[in-house]
């Protein structure tokens, strides 16, 4: 089973995925967290001048999909956090994973630019950075997410988000 959390940079995917992972790890010790930022670091695919173009983003997305597929084939429960901007990859996930649940984490671009924990949005809005999703690369949300979470960025709400995801995947069946 793969639980795929997706959304724009800074929307809270990693925070929510980490909390979900911690909860699942208690009942399924074979749970693995696959975070897009960590996979980029693992493959040394973080050069802001070349590794965030549309084609480089596709390479990164395919790597994440391949890692999740490899783990899922071993009956390992996977929690993935990825921007997931390519609808064809998202749709293929439904065919290649044993079970697939797509959770779209959302916040409006104005909120993300105000929070801007990585400095991406402000530098892109000033014209200092290119290839920023939602600013100079269009972002289309996933077309068939199983659940959409509007992130309030209130730390107290993370448990509620995790509970909603666990209800979606029917925690009793895990």
pLDDT tens-digit readout, 14-26: 999 999 999 999 9
Burial of 6 (0-12, 13-18, 19+ CB in 10 A): buried
* Token code pair at residue 139: 């972002």
Instruction: Return d(Cα 52, Cα 61) in angstroms, integer.
Output: 11
Confidence (pTM): 0.90
CB 148 within 8 A of CB 130: no
Rounded to the nearest integer, the mean pLDDT of the chain is: 89
Q: What is the structure's pLDDT at 168?
A: 96
Mean pLDDT, residues 81-90 taken together: 89
* pLDDT at 35 exceeding the cut of 60: yes
What is the torsion angle, in degrees rounded to the nearest 10, for the CA atoms of residue 34, residue 21, residue 139 and residue 95? Answer: 70
Q: How far is CA 131 from CA 51, 63, 158, in A?
A: 9, 19, 29
């Amino acid at each position: 089973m793969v639980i795929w959390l997706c959304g724009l940079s800074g929307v809270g995917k990693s925070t929510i995925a980490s909390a979900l992972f911690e909860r699942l790890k208690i009942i399924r010790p074979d749970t693995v967290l696959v975070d897009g930022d960590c996979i980029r670091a693992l493959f040394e695919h973080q050069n802001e001048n070349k590794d965030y173009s549309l084609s480089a983003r596709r390479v990164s997305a395919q790597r994440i999909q391949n890692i999740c597929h490899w783990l899922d084939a071993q009956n390992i429960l996977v929690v993935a956090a990825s921007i997931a901007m390519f609808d064809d990859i998202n749709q293929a996930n439904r065919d290649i994973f044993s079970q697939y649940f797509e959770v779209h984490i959302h916040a409006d671009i104005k909120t993300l630019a105000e929070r801007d924990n990585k400095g991406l949005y402000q530098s892109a809005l000033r014209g200092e950075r290119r290839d920023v999703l939602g600013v100079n690369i269009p972002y289309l949300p996933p077309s068939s997410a199983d659940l959409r979470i509007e992130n309030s960025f209130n730390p107290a709400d993370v448990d509620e988000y995790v509970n909603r995801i666990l209800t979606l995947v029917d925690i009793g069946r895990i």
